[in-house]
Structure 1
Amino acid sequence: MARIAEDLYLLLLDNASAQPRLERARRSRVLSAAVLLDLAYACRIRPAVDGEAVEPGRLVALAGPAAPDPVTEPAFQLLQRRPLAPATAVKKLAKHTEDHIVAHLEHTGQIRQVPLPEKRFGQQFAWPLTNRHRVGQARAALMASLFDRTPPPPATAAIISLLHAVDGLGALLSLNDRGWRWVHARAGEIALGSWVDEYPTALPEVNLAVTTSAVRQALP
């Protein structure tokens, strides 16, 4: 399951308009990056390191069957063909990743497609949530991590790190200057990998943190 990418999309959906709140260009990049991080957390990809035949930093697919998920499988297949720099992978995935996420969320009954009577917001459809339980949990974890300094679960740490990289936390939060100073400082700590020391970690979490560091640099 593409937990990181799906939770990120659900968090971005606006309650009133049922439209995602980041503009298309940033949204496409950050969702594509999120899919890569889902694969990293599943230990299906990792960045190459010094001493390997692949250029350091390029994302490589790890041996195993194709990812059994319609959201992550295209990204896994892309990297199975050849290792790619994170920026290249994000660019190649950006065209269709959001469509895959939306289709899967609709297929699994988490959102529904509603035709708009007029082309409002430049869109033909709205995507209201069918149930707020999942997004409520994701938002509660994000808020606790940012404001209560609760150790963030891996998916939450990845989402915060990606949104911080594209200056996208404003799509989720409305704060005064003091609040933003706090959030940017805490999000910066998480983006730099502090959560690995805060949260009980094993290989998947470490691989996620290392891959997040590589992928974040492809986003600005």
Structure 2
Amino acid sequence: MLIAEDLLLLVFDNEEGKPVGGVSNLEYSLAGALLIELAIRGRVDVTTEADEGKPGRLVVRDATPTGEPALDDALGKLSTVEGKKPKDAIGPLSGNELSKRLLGGLAERGILRQEKGKVLGLFPVTRWPAEDSQHEEATRADLRRVLVEGQEPGERTGALIALLAGMGVVTDVVTSDDPRMVERRAKEIAEGNWAGQAMRKAVEEITAAVMVAVFVPTIVAGTS
């Protein structure tokens, strides 16, 4: 399961089949999730002083197909923004109806169910209620162990928490008697060293760029 897919499952209401209230900048967050996952897998990196050119720029280290359509599509698009800052990749990666493609893939695997209808009998709408919630429930349990019980997150869980924190929906996903504590813990993780040492700098820089893009979407139109 991709980090982006986990993010979708967490922010979509299982019965209504649509995002929970308060979700914004979903496409940018999903694009960021793909970029972070590629960094975790060692496919993309951020240049340092040891590399040619300016530091802090995206570089594709391994363009070999992953076998995951969404990731391979993202890898292809990154060739057009290689050498630019991580924030400049969010816009291109979020295009081509990214959320619908990911939702469709989840439906094909029997995790979601696609339901088409019309609002007021006029406007077409597609909803994606849960068909099999086992994976989502396991993911929520992992998040609860980290955010409520205080366990240290793995790389993927840390990335997911950082994205949820950036979207401002942590307490919608993980309920607690002390939501402020959950938000505080999520912020600490989002700003902390949850990535493995070998890829920490790249993942942290990419995550920071994603957070800026989520909070201020207009920056993705900026130039390097």
Letter in structure 1 aligned against 2:212: Q
| Closer/same/farther in 2, CA of residues 186 and 25 from structure 1, 3 Å limit | closer
Q: Which runs of 5+ in 1 are unaligned?
A: none
The answer as to whether partners of 2:170 and 2:186 remain within 8 angstroms in 1 is no
| Closer/same/farther in 2, CA of residues 26 and 59 from structure 1, 3 Å limit | same
The answer as to whether partners of 2:164 and 2:170 remain within 8 angstroms in 1 is yes
| Closer/same/farther in 2, CA of residues 182 and 23 from structure 1, 3 Å limit | closer
Distance in 2 of aligned mates of 1:117 and 1:85: 41
What does residue 217 of structure 1 align with? 212
Aligned length: 212
Q: Which runs of 5+ in 2 are unaligned?
A: 216-224
| Closer/same/farther in 2, CA of residues 164 and 25 from structure 1, 3 Å limit | closer
Letter in structure 2 aligned against 1:50: E
Letter in structure 2 aligned against 1:172: V
The answer as to whether partners of 1:14 and 1:21 remain within 8 angstroms in 2 is yes
Letter in structure 2 aligned against 1:86: P
Instruction: Note the alpha carbon deviations across 1:50-74, whole angstroms, 9 max, x for none.
Output: 2423432222211341332111112
Instruction: Note the alpha carbon deviations across 1:142-168, whole angstroms, 9 max, x for none.
Output: 111101011112221111111212323
Letter in structure 2 aligned against 1:89: A
Residue 100 of structure 1 aligns to a residue whose secondary structure is helix
Distance in 2 of aligned mates of 1:170 and 1:69: 30
Instruction: Note the alpha carbon deviations across 1:75-122, whole angstroms, 9 max, x for none.
Output: 1111123413222211122233212211211222211201235369x8
Residue 219 of structure 1 aligns to a residue whose secondary structure is helix
What does residue 86 of structure 1 align with? 86
Residue 217 of structure 1 aligns to a residue whose secondary structure is helix
Distance in 2 of aligned mates of 1:16 and 1:63: 40
Distance in 2 of aligned mates of 1:160 and 1:103: 24
Task: Quote the sequence identity (%).
Answer: 27
Distance in 2 of aligned mates of 1:31 and 1:139: 18
The answer as to whether partners of 1:44 and 1:63 remain within 8 angstroms in 2 is yes
TM-score by length of 2: 0.82
